[in-house]
């Protein structure tokens, strides 16, 4: 390898890795055969810069991928659980010209470290020397760098009523404004941390008292802190949809945006003119959040009522499709196939009513994932991201699809962007990240994320399954068996066979690995 150029050569092929990955590899080479703790590595590579544990993990993953190293049967870098890493390949020192040097523009002699991996069997997969950097490959980064739209960060709105029962309404107003603004071609509306930073910030509050509602919103210029507009809208609850539309118009006016808004109606965004239908829709979304059987049934009831009040309510159909998909996925009905067929049919109705809504395409992607039609799922999600490049859930679901298809390494950057775009997403992003790390053989990072998921949703069976599997990998069979007992308390009819009957995993090796670990943990 040539540290100065971040190049690795094998069999006449040159690969480039990121600078931090190369620095990590050089440090491990300097301590070849020795255990190097994670803390020591982070201090050596990043110094006083505060980074998450995942930064080092990613560097190790990229090194392994460049060498085609298997974390479960390593020949280059060995993971020492809960402690650190050890370079186990032989290291020799040579003096030679840099791997891709030309006499005209390179120094003639540089110190080159050559990793002699004697025990590797078969040819190793290497990156092409023409491969772009991770940042250049990242679809979020590409979209952000090429994006010339006005960027608005929609901050979490406050619930001034003091009643947690109204949280669904506050979240709904916030998300409705976010989605509404995102539909304008010259505006990029987003949540969470933005990179590059947002131009403007929208913040506000919602207060409901009986049939009266008050929504306050203000728009600030991020660079200067100057308040461009402050609006207070108060009226009957039946005026809520009109209030939200007024706020959008106020924002566009404050930005001197010449977008044609005369024909922009709530229905054109997939919403509804019916306040009753809209309130039922927001309540249904809130009922779905626990992702349990009773919440799913309640959500279906509310979505159905919303559709009865407005048969053209596209988003309500999309939500209804999700409840049927959840019945299939979790085995909450006797005839799973009927549920899956109903999910696809209902999602297609939503898309037929409003074909240019990212959320409808996301639902199609989700249903196709459950059908194990992963290519179709990715196509729908890519279409959703064409419409909204900052749609966090689309990146998260695409990451899940990548893992199901046997590409867990591709999931991690997608999930990081999803978390950055929507830090309040809840347990699911952590579960997806933990699952990807498990299949990459890094149960230390998997456990960090899986336990974050468990803290946010103790009743989720899939999270506990992967925690149990990681415990088996760490030889903690007692802990793994305890987790399986907890799973059976949550789902008494659980079996490994029934789980995989509806689990959209397509990679046979990953299926075999998880099945083995679950059975070692005592699952039947």
DSSP assignment string, 471-520: HHHTT-HHHHHHHHHHHHHH-TT--HHHHHHH-----HHHHHHHHHHHHH
Task: Give the pLDDT confidence score for residue 129 in this predicted structure.
Answer: 31
**Mean pLDDT confidence for 81-91:** 85
- Taking Cα atoms as reference points, which of 169, 217, 160, 223 lies closest to residue 194? 223
Among 246, 264, 282, which residue terminates a domain? 264
In 405-473, which ranges are continuous DSSP H helix?
408-421, 427-439, 443-456, 461-473
In 104-161, which ranges are continuous DSSP H helix?
134-137, 139-146
Instruction: Give the residue, 188 or 418, on which the prediction is more confident.
Output: 418
Percent helix / strand / coil, the chain, rounded to 5: 55, 15, 30
Q: Is residue 32 located within the same domain as residue 101?
A: yes
Among 229, 248, 264, which residue terminates a domain? 264
Q: For residues 344 and 324, is the Cβ–Cβ distance under 8 A?
A: no
Q: How many CB atoms lie within 10 A of CB 267?
A: 17
Q: What tokens were used for 225?
A: 């802190």
How many angstroms separate the Cα of 3 from the Cα of each of 27, 111, 113?
Answer: 11, 9, 8
Burial 349-370 (b: 16+ CB within 10 A, else e): bbbebbeebbbbbbbbbbbbbb
> What pairs with residue 332 in β-bridges?
none
Residue with tokens 């009513």: 353
Average pLDDT, the chain: 81
- Whether pLDDT at 268 is above 50: no
Q: Is 193 contained in some domain?
A: yes
Q: How many CB atoms lie within 10 A of CB 229?
A: 16
- Taking Cα atoms as reference points, which of 180, 331, 196, 200 lies closest to residue 248? 180
CATH code of the domain covering residue 97:
1.10.10.10
Segment 2-22, tens digit of pLDDT: 887 778 887 677 777 877 889
- Whether pLDDT at 447 is above 80: yes
**Mean pLDDT confidence for 68-84:** 80
Distance CA 239, CA 218 (A): 19
Q: Is residue 127 located within the same domain as residue 15?
A: yes
- Whether pLDDT at 377 is above 80: yes
Least confident of 30-39, 92-101, 357-366: 92-101
Q: Is 38 contained in some domain?
A: yes
Task: Give the pLDDT confidence score for residue 54 in this predicted structure.
Answer: 60
Q: Is residue 24 located within the same domain as residue 104?
A: yes
Q: Is 70 contained in some domain?
A: yes
Q: Is residue 439 located within the same domain as residue 486?
A: yes
Q: Is residue 118 located within the same domain as residue 170?
A: no
Residue 279 CA from chain centroid, whole number: 28
Task: Give the pLDDT confidence score for residue 148 in this predicted structure.
Answer: 65
> What pairs with residue 181 in β-bridges?
none
Q: Is 341 contained in some domain?
A: no
Q: Is residue 110 located within the same domain as residue 83?
A: yes
Instruction: Give the residue, 384 or 331, on which the prediction is more confident.
Output: 384
Segment 291-323, tens digit of pLDDT: 788 999 999 999 999 999 999 999 999 999 999
CATH code of the domain covering residue 504:
1.25.40
Residue 142: Cβ-neighbour burial (10 angstroms; 0-12, 13-18, 19+): middle
Q: Is 346 contained in some domain?
A: no
Residue 184: Cβ-neighbour burial (10 angstroms; 0-12, 13-18, 19+): buried
Residues in the chain, total: 524
User: Which of 60-74, 148-162, 358-372, 466-480 has the highest mean predicted lDDT (pLDDT)?
Assistant: 466-480
Task: Give the pLDDT confidence score for residue 251 in this predicted structure.
Answer: 67
Q: Is 272 contained in some domain?
A: no
**Mean pLDDT confidence for 173-192:** 79
Q: Is residue 176 located within the same domain as residue 107?
A: no
Q: Is residue 441 located within the same domain as residue 469?
A: yes
Percent of the chain with pLDDT over 90: 41
Listed in sequence order, the residues at least 6 apart from 30 whose beta carbon sits closer than 8 Å to its beta carbon are: none
How many angstroms separate the Cα of 230 from the Cα of each of 10, 203, 220, 251, 385?
Answer: 62, 10, 9, 9, 31
Least confident of 54-68, 310-324, 425-439, 475-489: 54-68
Task: Give the pLDDT confidence score for residue 182 in this predicted structure.
Answer: 74
Among 245, 264, 283, which residue terminates a domain? 264
- Whether pLDDT at 508 is above 90: yes
Q: For residues 438 and 466, is the Cβ–Cβ distance under 8 A?
A: yes
Give the CA count within 13 Å in the CB-facing half-sphere of 202: 30
Report the number of distinct structural domains present in the chain. Answer: 3
Which domain range does residue 253 map to?
A: 147-264
Least confident of 30-39, 164-173, 270-279: 270-279
Identify the helix (H) or strand (E) that includes residue 312: none
Q: Is 10 contained in some domain?
A: yes
Q: How confident is the model at residue 246 (pLDDT cuts 50, 70, 90)?
A: confident
Q: Is residue 513 located within the same domain as residue 432?
A: yes
Q: What tokens were used for 265?
A: 């109606």
**Mean pLDDT confidence for 489-518:** 94
**Mean pLDDT confidence for 63-85:** 81
């Amino acid at each position: 390898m040539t540290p100065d150029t971040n190049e690795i050569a094998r069999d006449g092929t040159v690969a480039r890795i990121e600078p931090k990955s190369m620095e990590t590899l050089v440090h491990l080479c300097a301590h070849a055969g020795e255990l190097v703790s994670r803390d020591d590595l982070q201090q050596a590579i990043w110094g006083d810069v505060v980074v998450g544990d995942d930064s080092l993990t990613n560097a190790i993953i990229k090194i392994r991928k460049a060498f085609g190293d298997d974390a479960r049967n390593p020949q280059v870098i060995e993971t020492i659980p809960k402690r650190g890493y050890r370079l186990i390949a032989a290291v020799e020192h040579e003096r030679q010209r840099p791997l891709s040097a030309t006499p005209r523009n390179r120094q003639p002699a540089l110190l080159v470290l050559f990793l002699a991996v004697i025990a590797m069997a078969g040819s190793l997969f290497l990156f092409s020397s023409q491969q772009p950097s991770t940042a250049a490959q990242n679809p979020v980064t590409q979209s952000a760098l090429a994006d010339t739209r006005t960027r608005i960060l929609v901050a979490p709105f406050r619930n001034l009523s003091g009643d947690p029962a109204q949280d669904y309404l506050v979240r709904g107003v916030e998300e409705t404004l976010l989605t509404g603004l995102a539909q304008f071609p010259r505006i990029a509306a987003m949540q969470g941390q933005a990179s590059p930073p947002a131009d403007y910030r929208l913040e506000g509050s919602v207060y409901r008292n009986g049939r009266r509602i008050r929504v306050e919103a203000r728009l600030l210029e991020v660079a200067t802190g100057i308040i461009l507009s402050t609006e207070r809208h108060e009226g009957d609850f039946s005026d809520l949809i009109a209030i939200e539309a007024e706020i959008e118009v106020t924002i566009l006016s404050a930005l001197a945006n010449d977008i044609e808004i005369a024909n922009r109606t709530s229905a054109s965004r997939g919403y509804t003119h019916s306040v009753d239908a809209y309130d039922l829709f927001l309540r249904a979304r809130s009922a779905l959040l626990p992702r349990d059987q009773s919440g799913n049934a309640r959500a279906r009831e509310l979505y159905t009522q919303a559709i009865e009040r407005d048969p053209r309510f596209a988003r309500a159909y999309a939500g209804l499709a999700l409840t049927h998909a959840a019945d299939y996925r979790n085995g909450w009905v006797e005839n799973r196939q009927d549920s899956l067929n109903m999910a696809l049919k209902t999602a297609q109705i939503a898309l037929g009513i409003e074909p240019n809504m990212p959320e409808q395409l996301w639902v199609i992607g989700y249903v196709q994932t459950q059908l194990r039609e992963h290519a179709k799922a990715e196509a729908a999600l890519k279409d959703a991201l064409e419409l909204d490049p900052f749609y966090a859930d689309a990146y998260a679901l695409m990451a899940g699809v990548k893992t199901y298809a046997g590409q867990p390494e591709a999931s991690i950057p997608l999930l990081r962007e999803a978390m950055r775009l929507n830090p309040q997403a809840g347990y699911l992003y952590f579960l997806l990240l933990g699952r990807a790390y498990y299949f990459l053989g890094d149960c230390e990072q998997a456990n960090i994320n899986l336990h974050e998921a468990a803290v946010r949703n103790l009743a989720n069976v899939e999270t506990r399954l992967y925690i149990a599997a990681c415990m088996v990998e760490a030889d903690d069979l007692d802990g793994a068996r305890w987790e399986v007992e907890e799973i059976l308390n949550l789902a008494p009819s659980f079996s490994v066979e029934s789980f995989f009957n509806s689990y959209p995993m397509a990679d046979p090796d990953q299926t075999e690995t998880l099945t083995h670990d679950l059975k070692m943990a005592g699952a039947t």
